[in-house]
Amino acid sequence: MSVNVNIKEVVKEYGDFRAIDDVSLSIKEGEFFTLLGPSGCGKTTLLRMIAGFNSIEEGEIYFADKMINNEAAHKRDIGMVFQNYAVFPHLSVYDNVGYGLKARKVPKDEAAKRIQNALEVVQIEHLKDRMPSQLSGGQQQRVALARAIVIEPKILLMDEPLSNLDAKLRVQMRTTIKKLQRKLNITTIYVTHDQEEALAISDRIAVMNKGEVMQVDKPNVIYSNPSCEFVSNFIGTSNFLKGKVVADNTIEVDGYTFHKNINATVGEDVLVSVRPEQFAVSQTDEGLAGEIVLSTFLGDFISYDIELANGQSIEVNEYTQNIDEAKPEGPVKVCLSAKDINVFDAEGKVNLNA
C-alpha cells in the first residue's frame, strides 16, 4: 500500500545556514522519484527530514493526507536504505532482514515466509546464515534492500545506495532496484549525485542546488529542456555561448545569426546552451568561425575540440555514420541545430525557449 508524498515549503536550518530552503515537491503514489544534485546540495538532509531524523524548521510534509512533521521516526513506516548500508554487524543476514518484522510483532511463521520471499527477491537466499562481515559490498547492499522492503513500507528511501559499488555492479544493481520497485510499486525517493544513474532509473527527477529545487520533471525533459543554466550544465554536457537578440526570434552569436523562437525582446542579452551533438561542422561558409584543435575518435561519434575566434573552447560531436572520416585540424565553421538548443536569459536563470 503505497502513498503519495507532499512536501510543502520545508526549511532546514543548521544555525544560520539554510541547508534546505523552501522546498516543495509532490511525489505520486508508486513513483520512482530521484533527488539529484551536486555534493552538499542538501539531498541527504531532505531525505532525513522525510525519515524523521532531522527536525523540520518550517513547512510541512504529508504522507497521503497525514501531516507527519511531529511523527516520531520509528512510527513513520518507511523503509530506508542507508548510503553505508548500516547492516547490523552482530546479526546474521536472516536476522537483519527479520529485525523490522520482530519490531512489528509479525507472527513467526508469517515472518519466516516474508523474510524468505525478500531474500529471494534480492537473490541472497543462499547467504541467509552468514554474518555481515562475511559479505561483499554488493551483498550487504542487497541485505539492506531486503531489510527495507520486507516490512512492506509505505515509502522507500534510498540514499546513494550504489555509491560504494564498482561501476559494473552499480549498473547491474540499479536495474535490480528499478525492476523491484516496479514489481512492488512502492513510492520511492532515491538520492544520487550521478546524473546518468538518475536518468536511467527515475520516473521523475528533482534537480537540486544549494538547498533549492531547480527543476522537477521526467528524465527526457530535464535533458532536452533544462530550466536553467545550472541544470543544463549539471545534466549532460553543454556549451554556453553569449548572444544577443538582434531581431524578432533572431539571435546573433559572435557574428553568426540564426532563428529561434524565444520569449525575449529585441536587444536583450541571452545565454545560448548547445549540447555537443547539436553542433555540426558547417559544409557551407555559414557558422561560427573556429579552429579544430583536436579530434578524438570515440566509436559512435567523433568529438572535436574547437577553439572559437573569441578564444572559447567548445565540444562538438558528429556521428560517424554521417561522415567518412574526421575533419583535419585547422580552420572551420560551426553551425547549430537551432530548434533543439536552449536559450536562457543572460543570468542563465530562465529558459526563454518558446
Partner 1 sequence: MLNKIKAIRWSALFTNKKTKRMDFWSISKVVVFLVFLIFLLYPFVSLFMRSFFDVDGNFSLVNFETFVSFKYYYGTLFNSLLVAVVTTISAVLIGVPLAYLTARYNVWGKRIVNVMIVMSLMSPPFIGAYSWIMLLGRNGVITNTLANIGINVPSIYGFVGIILVFTLKLYPYVYLYVSGALNSIDSSLEEAAENLGMSKFRRIMSVTFPVIMPTIAAGGIMVFMSSLADFGTPMLIGEGFKVLPVLVYEEFMSEVGGNAGLASALSIIIVSFSTIVLLFQKRVIDKKVYNMSSLRPPVVTKLRTLPRVLLSGLTFLVATITFLPQIVVVVTSFIKTKGPLFVSGFSLDSYRTIFYKLGTNIRNTFTFSFIAIIIIIVLGIIIAYLITKRRSKSSEVLDVLVMFPYVIPGAVLGIGLALAFKNPPLAITGTPIIMIVAYVIRKMPYTVRSSSAMLQQVDQSIEEASINLGVSPMRSFFKITARLMLPGIVSGAILSWISTINELSSSIMLYTGKTATISVAIYTEVVRASFGTAAALASILTLATVVSFILFHIISKGKVSVV
Ligand X SMILES: Nc1ncnc2c1ncn2[C@@H]1O[C@H](COP(=O)(O)OP(=O)(O)OP(=O)(O)O)[C@@H](O)[C@H]1O
Contacts of 189 (CB under 8 A, 6+ apart): 5, 27, 33, 34, 35, 47, 50, 155, 156, 157, 158
What is the x/- site pattern for partner 1, positions 77-116, by CB under 8 A? Answer: xxxx-xxx-xxxxx--------xx--xx------------
Residue 49 CA to residue 27 CA, distance in Å, equals: 15
> Looking at 39, 65, 70, 325, which residue binds partner 1 (CB under 8 A)?
70
Residues 6 or more apart whose CB falls under 8 angstroms from that of 102 comprise: 111
Q: Computed over its alpha carbons, how large is the radius of gyration of the chain? A: 25
- 66 contacts which partner out of ligand X, partner 1, Mg ion, none, CB within 5 to 8 A by kind? none
Contacts of 181 (CB under 8 A, 6+ apart): 32, 156, 188
- Region from 53-61, 121-129, 178-186, 311-319 binding partner 1, contact rule CB under 8 A: 53-61
Measured between alpha carbons, how far is 334 from 288 in angstroms, rounded to an integer? 5
Locus of grid cell 544513474: 197
Nearest distance from C-beta of residue 337 to Mg ion, angstroms: 37
Could you tell me how far CA 232 lies from the centroid of its own chain?
Answer: 12
Q: Give the shortest CB-163-to-Mg ion separation in angstroms.
A: 9
Q: Which residues pair with 131 in a beta bridge?
A: none
Helix H or strand E segment including 170: helix 167-184
Q: Which of 29, 57, 217, 315 lies at the binding interface for partner 1 (CB under 8 A)?
A: 57
**Of 44 and 96, CB closest to Mg ion:** 44
Site string for Mg ion, 13-52 (x = CB under 5 A): -------------------------------x--------
Name which of 114 and 147 has its Cβ closer to partner 1: 147
In the complex, the smallest distance separating the C-beta of residue 26 from ligand X, rounded to whole angstroms, is: 21
Strand locations in 226-287, DSSP E? 239-247, 250-253, 256-259, 269-274, 279-281
The alpha carbon torsion through 105, 111, 117, 122 (nearest 10 deg) reads: 50
Q: Which does 45 bind (CB under 5 to 8 A by kind): Mg ion, ligand X, partner 1, none?
A: ligand X
Question: Which positions ≥6 away from 41 have C-beta within 8 Å?
Answer: 208, 209, 210, 211
Q: Which is nearer to partner 1, 33 or 85 (CB)?
A: 85
Positions in 148-177 near partner 1 (CB under 8 A): 151
C-beta of 37 vs 226, nearer to ligand X? 37
Q: Is 342 helix (H, G, I), strand (E, B) or coil?
A: strand
The residues that touch ligand X, with contacts defined as CB under 6 A, are 14, 19, 37, 39-45, 193
* Residue 56 contacts which entry, Mg ion, ligand X, partner 1, none (Cβ below 5-8 A, type-dependent): partner 1
- Tell me the per-residue interface mask from 192 to 231 with partner 1, x by CB under 8 A, - otherwise: ----------------------------------------
The cell 553542433 sits on which residue? Answer: 279
Which of 39, 284 has the CB closer to partner 1?
39
Residues that bind Mg ion (CB under 5 A): 44
Residues that bind partner 1 (CB under 8 A): 9, 11, 51-53, 55-59, 69-70, 72-75, 77-80, 82-84, 86-90, 99-100, 103-104, 144, 147, 151
